[in-house]
Structure 1
Amino acid sequence: MFRRALFSLVGAALCALPALAQSDRVVALVVSVGEGGARADAIQAQLQVIGAETLRAADPNNAELRSILKRFTGEAADSRAAFVYLDAPAVTFEGREFVTPAGAALNRATDLFTQAIPLQAFARAAAQAEQGGAVVAAIGRAPADLPAGLSPLETAPEPAAGSSPVLVAPYGRSDAVVQVIAAVTRDEVIEVGAMLRRMQAGEGVSLSASPATPIYLRSPAVEETPVALQIAAPEAGADAPPETLEELELLEQSLSRAAKRAIQRELRDAGHYLGLVDGIFGPQTRGAISAFQEARTDEATGVLTRRQMLDLRAGG
């Protein structure tokens, strides 16, 4: 009877978890290459303060950055708004802009096509969100021996159809960008166009175009919709043994993706999870669950028990 009652309580508690529907999600990609790592970490922390789900890449090589950009594009398509912060070297070649990942070997200008990623690829990814998004590029120090035909990126590109606005702060001019993002508060309504215009006031900072319609990284509070979750009570008596790990894994598999997102959000609010709230229980989520369990002096299995689900929802 105890397990039956506890199962019912878990079902009721999870039914009350807030749904992170497409219209509620804000996702951000934060990339650093070279000396801007600490600055990018601060930007990521501030974006999380306003509720953005962040995907962080520190010194990624070409393959790693392409992979993380592909993942971010899919997440942006399942979100209300998207934001990209790049703190990396970037160059121009024949009117096109390229971000250079860690380890890029530019012996000649055409190496860009295999060793770098077009800046517009990030702008197209951010544009996949329901409201759209923006790219802010704080340009890092360019290599001293750039091949002929390449030059450090100093100005924003021309507007492009199907792409989000791009703001460029040339090397050494990122203070305005950092200060604007650092000034946002947890409860502030944050509209991207207004934020970009404040950044543009910095010396040397340029913007491809202002958003055509408002894009909110944090919008006015809206009423949240509960997640419907159906869990059948097990056939068990009062003297039933504790759940096995296999039983708990089956319970977890029965959760909807929205419910899994809600669990990730609760783990993030408790200070254990820093990844995307995407409903995918990968290594980061497992580590966060283990950290939550260790903080309770429970066995760190990486899979939540029913009681732990209840306590997580209750803030304990």
Structure 2
Amino acid sequence: MREFGYQRASDVAGAVALLGADPDARFLGGGTNLVDLMKTGVERPSRLVDVRELPLDRIESTQDGGLRIGATVTNSDLAAHAEVRRRYPALVQAVLAGASGQLRNMATVGGNLLQRTRCGYFGDVTKPCNKRVPGSGCPAIEGDHRNHAILGASRHCVAVHPSDMGVALTAFDAVISYETTEGSGELPLCDFYLPVGDTPHLETALPPGALITGVTLPSAPVAARSRYRKVRERASYAFAIGSIAAALDVRDGVVSDVRLAFGAVASRPWRARAAERALTGARADGESFAAAADAELAAAEPLIHNGYKVTLMRNLVVAVLSELLEEASR
């Protein structure tokens, strides 16, 4: 591991100033992803700016009935919060599905959204990778890509984003707040992650040196009846091969509101807007759920060994929406 400096920030402005003065520095939250990448040589920061003690660890209600979640709130505290559990159960389920209890105790909300892909080629500095070394190639396309992207990928990168939490936040229109030396700003989560295109090394739309300060969830009554389902190759401590965050509101047998987001199928949490459009105003039944899934997955471009994800995601849409429909009819 490369030698690095360490400094603990005492306030937000100070943290941002430290990174502004040293572009090779990185913010340190829980370190559950960054430190691993430092050990393998993928990340080589000159300095770590510890932000864990900044006053960003609260969860508060907003005036419109939503929630504001501080960036240093731990995953464990987020999953245990009474209002999060009541208003956004799918978010709680996503957090609990994401890692072991020990990791949840350390990992932060801001860090979770900034975690990088778990693609094996990205994590191995002896292999080429366009995300790590632009222009070096993407060996996953012809190599091991069974768990890689079927939506929104490019010939430059087919890696997927690993966050479970991000999938649920995407479904409920979360907004990211950040601070820079130039002032504060906001980004809807749907615009936070950049399309892969020919620049997979550019992952987010955050300005250089920006510090995530919080995430705001707008009021979403439909989210009170929501669910997160994660499919993985073993029962615990594994990243998803496919996941879904879903919420459903049905009135007189017709879908009046629906939220859908997919995980482990693209370089970012994937908001299934085509499926949502197909379902809104449609009869709430298995046939409509399957047609909506097909509308979304029509854009899928699977590789030789990951075509199973198309069937997997179709089945997940039908199964989870059917469960929510049954729950609503009780």
Q: Normalising by the residue count of structure 2, what TM-score does the alignment of the two structures yield?
A: 0.24
Q: Taking CA–CA contacts closer than 8 Å with sequence separation of 6 or more, which of the two structures ends up with the larger relative contact order? A: 1
Structure (1/2) with the larger strand percentage: 2
Point out the structure with max Rg over C-alpha: 1
TM-score (norm 1): 0.25
Higher helix share: 1
